[in-house]
Amino acid sequence: MPAKKAKPKTPVKRKKAAKQPDIRLVRRGVSKKAPFLAAFRRTASVRRAAAAVKIDRTMHYRWLAEDPTYAAAFEKAREEAAQVLEDEAVRRAYEGIRKPVFYQGEVVDYVFEYDTALLMFLLRGWRPDRYRERTELTGPDGGPIEVDIVDRLKAARKRLASAGNQPNAA
């Protein structure tokens, strides 16, 4: 039986598909900005907000550099996040944190612990004129401190010369 000859294969011409936008960029870009900002308002953390909406945190920085509207929205979200942090600081300093008291492995009561250091930071921020740390150095009779280095050096050389330890002249 004679062998059949193979037909030469001709390449099949296919139509090129219309260029579609990269769906990953659409998901990461437009639709993820608002959820990211909402998560940032809650967490006040770029890393946590990015994890919440399942994007890489560097995407946020790219948005900041490339999109002025996003940058303005982020500044607003940042102010809101700062307010959330401040509210929590006030709550911890003023209302305290409820902590359980254990006896033989069981909770028998609760106590409130107050953060006095945090309260001092808040007071320094809200009333710096009253609670800031002050250090004042004054001269005689409350006047300015006068330092005349030239006279002091001459007096020191004089003392050394009278003691017999003549310094090298420069």
- Residue 116 included in any domain: yes
Residue 47 falls inside a structural domain? yes
Question: Does some domain include residue 124?
Answer: yes
**Average pLDDT rounded to a whole number, residues 94-121:** 90
Number of domains in the chain: 1
Is the residue at 159 inside a domain?
no
Q: 0.75 cut: is pTM over it?
A: no
Does any domain span residue 115? yes
Place of tokens 């296919």: 14
What pLDDT is stored for residue 140 in this prediction? Answer: 75
Residue 59 lies in a domain: yes
Q: Which residue has tokens 């919440």?
A: 52
> pLDDT higher for 10 or 46?
46
What does the pLDDT average to over 51-80?
94
What is the C-alpha separation between 53 and 102, in angstroms, rounded? 39
| Domain span holding position 107 | 23-131
Residue 33 counted as domain residue: yes
